[in-house]
Amino acid sequence: MLINDYINRNFPNFNLRPPLFYNWEIGIRFELGVGWDRKYNYENSPYVQGVYKRAVTLFEALHLQNEDIFVVVDVNDFGDGKSYKHKTRLFSPYVYEKSTLYKLKHAEMSYIFPEDDEDGKYKTHRFTLKCKASDINYISLLKAVCNHDLGFQPSIFHRVYFFNIERKTIFHVYDDRGCDLLATSTESIRDIYNTYNDWILDYDRDEIDKVFK
């Protein structure tokens, strides 16, 4: 199964690009980073550790170790001559068994933000890995995503999405501030909504509550 087929079947007319929360009718936007202050901008600060803890906790609540998932990474190509066709190194540090990388799929697409590509020269390279949640070191991967805006290493500045194939959910940490969770039905994520209600971003809380009530 290809990722585009999966999206078209389960999330019709959905465009996989941030901000996910505003692109789909059923979703939750969680706050990851709480109480940021310049004095907390070091790797083991309470703020940073709190960001990591929330991201990992939500991932583990959504993805059991034996469940099939898609890990999708979108890479920008601004026509600077770089080739993205063999970038297994995007995944390699976060995959336990390197043989898993043989399943990696690559697709070249029109730039995912066409409004920012007046000359039509940009591309988006979408890399997709179908695997078990237990096949990836998701803790390190999530930390790397969060680290980008924090300025820590290792970091990933590409967009990373996690699809739970059976539960039909999409999980996206956009940076240390927060993450989006989408689903095809409210019931499939109602337990997440209830359990982690205190983590919901207050700015969008009213809209989220309407969906679940």
Least confident of 103-117, 129-143, 193-207: 103-117
Tell which residue, 168, 102, 170, has the closest CA to residue 130. 102
Provide φ and ψ at 50, rounded to 5°: -65, -40
Does 84 have pLDDT greater than 80? no
Note the pLDDT tens digit of each residue in 43-59.
788 899 999 999 999 99
- The percentage of the chain sitting over the pLDDT mark of 70, rounded to a whole number, equals 93
38, pLDDT greater than 90? no
Closest CA to 28 of 213, 189, 195: 189
DSSP three-state, residue 145: helix
Identify the three-state secondary structure at position 90: helix
Rounded to a whole number, what is the distance in angstroms from the first to the last CA of the chain?
34
Task: Decide if pLDDT at 36 tops 80.
Answer: no
Pairing of strands 159-164, 68-77: antiparallel
pLDDT of residue 81: 54
pLDDT at 85 over 60: no
The ranges assigned to domains in the chain are 3-212
- For 104-143, b/e burial (b = at least 16 CB within 10 A) is beeeeeebbeeeebeeeebbbbbbbbbbebebbebeebbb
pLDDT of residue 120: 79
pLDDT of the residue at 82: 60
Determine the Cα angle at 70 with ends 66 and 72, to 5°: 145
**Mean pLDDT throughout 142-149?**
94
The band of 90, judged by pLDDT with boundaries at 50, 70 and 90, is confident
With 0.75 as the threshold, say if the pTM is over it: yes
| Residue (of 148, 140, 153, 152) closest to 52 by Cα position | 140
Average pLDDT, the chain: 92
Per-residue model confidence (pLDDT) at position 78? 84
Query: d(Cα 179, Cα 30) in Å, to the nearest integer?
Result: 5
Taking every pair of Cα atoms in the chain, the longest distance, rounded to a whole number of angstroms, is 50
